[in-house]
Amino acid sequence: MTTLKVGICGLGTVGSGTVNVIRRNAAIISGRAGVAIEIVHIGARRDNPNCDVSGIKVSRDIFDVVRDSNVDVVVELIGGTTVAKDLVIEAINNGKHVVTANKALIALHGNEILPLAAANGVTVAFEAAVAGGIPIIKAVREGVAANDIKWLAGIINGTGNFILSEMRDKGRAFADVLAEAQALGYAEADPTFDVEGIDACHKLVILASLAFGMPFRFNKAYTEGISKIDAQDVTYAEELGYRIKHLGIARKSKGGIELRVHPTLIPAKRLIANVNGVMNAVLLNGDAAGPTLYYGAGAGSEATASAVIADIVDIARGNSIPMMGFAEGEVSSQRILPIEEVETSYYLRISAEDKAGVLSEIASVLSRHGISIEALIQKEAPDDEKHVPIILLTNITQEAKLMAAVEAIESFEFVQRPVVRIRVESLAG
């Protein structure tokens, strides 16, 4: 049996998991790959006590790995988009295949990196960049290859999902749950990438490009985080039969491609609405297969290592599936719909004085903007409060019309600003 020789750059959580799984499951992996998979070189600034690297060459300079003529495949697990980009480009120029878990690198620089790899006759594989151990890249690129994919929606950041799950289950405030997520290691000391949707947007951009055959367009995506979600909105959503999830949504529309990450009310009966804690899920809707749901661990040492190694096995097999899922020349630029043109339903929470005529004034404003009300809840005013929460669900309307209506409602003296607005998606097939 021949041997595919692997060099790993980065020995953190995923790097150590990759070493451990390859060593533990060597016979199974080689049986599936048809060749032996051997780690011959590791580049890491320091050792990791969570894995055994005995018998493997270790360098403190990660670029020693890409310059090692004995290495066939470079696994980039250092993260970031500066050194990692230089590392990957040098590996490609040295004729080496690359496997990466770096979603930011692909989302931001994939339009440069993937054509360079094709020109050099090597592969850049990135299954581990999206949703950890869920083989969602393979599903989009291969499993539903016969389908015209209409839309996809994903819970693709475990930290945000953990926070919203705790807020719903225990009625806790955002700041309180975020502090716990940081203590548990789910969130970084600076949680911006997770809670403001940047991490999820990197992943969504990758999925959308593979689904719709277009370049990576991170700079055109709309991103909104969960840091302003209030516990009372989580509760009111439940009363209306919905749950709030932080979703990445990509959809074909008549005006272009919707590419957006934001808090979303989805019907509680949907399977994806019941994905809790740090788990991830992606829902795909193809014209032939209909809706299909992919669920599993979105992060973690060995879950992500599973995806890394699956890419190594594909390279060992000589799989010739296009990196973007479409044949060369078939990837084309498409218009990304500005958020103002997106059409969806909305949840509104309006804090207004408890007096006659308020509801009719609000309904009149919505009507003037062509927006109809699907459901309404009015709560009693808390003790010693003049204002009551009015909760509305609208029918489908354009974002620009909704925002104009909200601005008009906020101008009323009887309304406490701002109006809370959360988009609503049915996610029906």
Mind telling me the catalytic residues?
203
Element (H, E) at 20: helix 13-24
Provide the β-strand partners of residue 153: 249, 283
Provide the β-strand partners of residue 74: 7, 98
Amino acid letter at 316? A
Residue among 271, 129, 256, 151 nearest 201 (CA)? 129
Q: How many CA atoms lie within 13 A of 305 on its CB side?
A: 22
Cα→Cα distances 298→34, 196, 199, 338, 377, Å: 28, 17, 12, 28, 36
Length of the chain: 429
Element (H, E) at 14: helix 13-24
- Whether the bond between 135 and the residue before it is cis, its omega within 30 degrees of 0, is no
What CA dihedral angle connects 285, 213, 251 and 275, to 10 degrees?
A: 50
Return d(Cα 422, Cα 229) in angstroms, integer: 9
Cα→Cα distances 293→116, 216, 275, Å: 33, 23, 11
Show the tokens assigned to 369. Answer: 């903007």
Q: Hey, is 134 helix, strand or coil?
A: coil
Return d(Cα 238, Cα 102) in angstroms, integer: 36
Strands 343-353 and 397-398: antiparallel
Return d(Cα 37, Cα 22) in angstroms, integer: 8
Going by the DSSP 8-state scheme, the letter that residue 126 receives in this structure is: -
Q: What is 239-285 written as a DSSP string? A: HTTEEEEEEEEEEEETTEEEEEEEEEEEETTSGGGG--TTEEEEEEE
Residue among 70, 72, 66, 67 nearest 84 (CA)? 66
Show the tokens assigned to 400. Answer: 């620009």
